[in-house]
């Protein structure tokens, strides 16, 4: 007997295989909390946004050779550990796989960088599970 949500999460989040089915935001949040409890830190999704189609591909390069990533959604995640809080801008493909993340010290810096890098302004974000 396995843990289907965990198995799907790892298959989707870390796999680059096209055509994999995505998982829901609620399932991602549940798995994130389970993962974090095991690792000794916590993460909460504080904001979510769909990226504007006219902004694709993003000017963030990954892979070998490096190519622009084709993210369709983003999340801002608050990470807490013994050193304090930080925020990550996470970018996802249509299947829900994590493509890239960028780490920042404050929510304000993260929102400013999201506007500059991916064109998502503060008014475009909606509350996440940890907001």
- Provide the whole-model pTM: 0.65
pLDDT in tens, 93-107: 888 888 899 999 999
What percentage of the chain carries pLDDT values higher than 70?
64
Indicate the pairing of strand 126-127 with strand 98-104.
unpaired
Looking at residue 104, what is its pLDDT? 96
Give the pLDDT band of residue 125 (cuts 50, 70, 90). very high
pLDDT at position 20, please? 42
Give which of 67, 47, 70 is closest to 58, Cα–Cα: 70
**Average per-residue pLDDT in the chain?**
75
Do residues 114 and 83 lie in contact, with contact meaning Cβ atoms separated by under 8 Å? no
Query: pLDDT (tens digit, 9 = 90+) per residue, 65-114?
Result: 888 888 889 999 999 888 889 999 999 988 888 889 999 999 999 999 99
């Amino acid at each position: 007997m396995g843990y289907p949500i965990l198995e799907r999460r790892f298959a989707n989040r870390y796999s680059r295989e096209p055509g994999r089915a995505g998982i829901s935001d609620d399932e991602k949040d549940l798995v994130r909390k389970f993962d974090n409890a095991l690792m000794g830190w916590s993460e909460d999704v504080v904001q979510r946004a769909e990226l504007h189609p006219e902004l694709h591909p993003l000017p963030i390069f990954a892979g070998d050779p490096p190519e622009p990533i084709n993210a369709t959604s983003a999340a801002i995640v608050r990470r807490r550990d013994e050193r304090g809080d930080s925020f990550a801008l996470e970018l996802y493909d249509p299947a829900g796989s994590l493509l890239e993340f960028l780490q920042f010290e404050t929510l304000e810096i993260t929102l400013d960088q999201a506007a500059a890098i991916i064109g998502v302004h503060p008014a475009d974000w909606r509350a996440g599970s940890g907001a």
